[in-house]
Amino acid sequence: SQTIHQWPATLVQPVGSPLSLECTVEGTSNPNLYWYRQAAGRGLQLLFYSVGIGQISSEVPQNLSASRPQDRQFILSSKKLLLSDSGFYLCAWSVSWGQARTDTQYFGPGTRLTVL
Amino acid sequence: GDSVTQMEGPVTLSEEAFLTINCTYTATGYPSLFWYVQYPGEGLQLLLKATKADDKGSNKGFEATYRKETTSFHLEKGSVQVSDSAVYFCALPIIPNTGNQFYFGTGTSLTVIP
């Protein structure tokens, strides 16, 4: 069966420090991968999605970036964190178009980031 | 453009009360519709889905019927439990049948008190 991992679970970082959040998926190949942010009391905002290694699409302008160095690895990064980057970051995956047509996205447990 | 509008919360109910969380959608064509649930401190889990008009999705006592005539996908449960306390999200895919990019509603927080 497929599983999705995120780490760390919680992170407290000072303003201006770098960030690296990692997400890995097991039990499937060539998944679509997604990064979402959920600010306190708000809905989900799609930040990035990827349909393959090295292919990243950005949904909103920001100081965050994403990379996909391996098929089942998705990394969210920042060179200098802002206070407004605080939130709950969720990674998700879905079956890619080439394997089967399905709409369901499956979410990881999330990373709680607090920028002070 | 395509979107979902979800009933705002928070909602507080007593145990065994009836729950309705409203969701309406705007879409070209007939996309699949979803409800996700987020328990405190966790990621989102798929609760139920419906893939075409008049379909009823159901899981864990929750139900939602895909109604084309009212463009709605309201979530219902006949008797809520304390363990149902969570945030509920209505969602639809931006491009049907691709698993790519979802519109998520803003979420409705439910608290069930004993």
What single string gives the DSSP state of each residue in B14-79? Answer: ETT--EEE-EEEE-SS---EEEEEE-TTS-EEEEEEE-STT-EEEETTEEEE-BTTTTB--EEESS
Considering only CA atoms, which of A13, A10, A8, A22 is closest in space to residue A80? A13
Residue type, B97: N
Considering only CA atoms, which of A110, A61, A60, A59 is closest in space to residue B94? A59
Could A92 and B44 be called an inter-chain contact, meaning their C-beta atoms sit closer than 8 Å?
A: yes
- Distance from the Cα of B66 to chain A's closest Cα (Å) equals 16
- In contact, A88 and B90? CB cutoff 8 Å: no
Q: What is the DSSP letter of A71?
A: T
- Distance from the Cα of B50 to chain A's closest Cα (Å) equals 11
Q: What is the pLDDT of residue B42?
A: 85
> DSSP 3-state assignment of B1?
coil
Q: What is the pLDDT of residue A33?
A: 92
Considering only CA atoms, which of A89, A105, A106 is closest in space to residue A36? A89
Q: What is the pLDDT of residue A103?
A: 65
Q: What is the DSSP letter of B97?
A: T
- In contact, B112 and B14? CB cutoff 8 Å: yes
One digit per residue, the tens of pLDDT, for chain B of length 114 reads 678 889 888 999 999 999 999 999 988 777 889 999 999 888 889 999 998 889 999 999 999 999 999 999 999 999 999 999 999 999 987 665 555 677 888 899 999 999
Could B34 and A104 be called an inter-chain contact, meaning their C-beta atoms sit closer than 8 Å?
A: yes
Both tokens assigned to B55: 């379909």
**Which segments in chain A show pLDDT lower than 70?**
41-42, 61, 97-103
Q: What is the pLDDT of residue B43?
A: 86
Q: What is the pLDDT of residue B2?
A: 73
Residues of A with CB under 8 A from a CB of B: 6, 32, 42-44, 46, 49, 51, 90, 92, 94-97, 101-110, 112
Query: Residue written as tokens 């996205």?
Result: A105
- Distance from the Cα of B57 to chain A's closest Cα (Å) equals 13
Which of B90, B98, B103, B109 to mutate to probe the A interface, most A CBs <10 Å? B98
Considering only CA atoms, which of A92, A89, A86, A91 is closest in space to residue A104? A92
Could B99 and A32 be called an inter-chain contact, meaning their C-beta atoms sit closer than 8 Å?
A: yes
Query: Residue written as tokens 């599983």?
Result: A3
CA A46, CA A62: separation in Å to the nearest integer? 12
Bridge partners (DSSP) listed for residue B4: B25
Residues of B in contact with A105 (CB under 8 A): 46, 99, 102
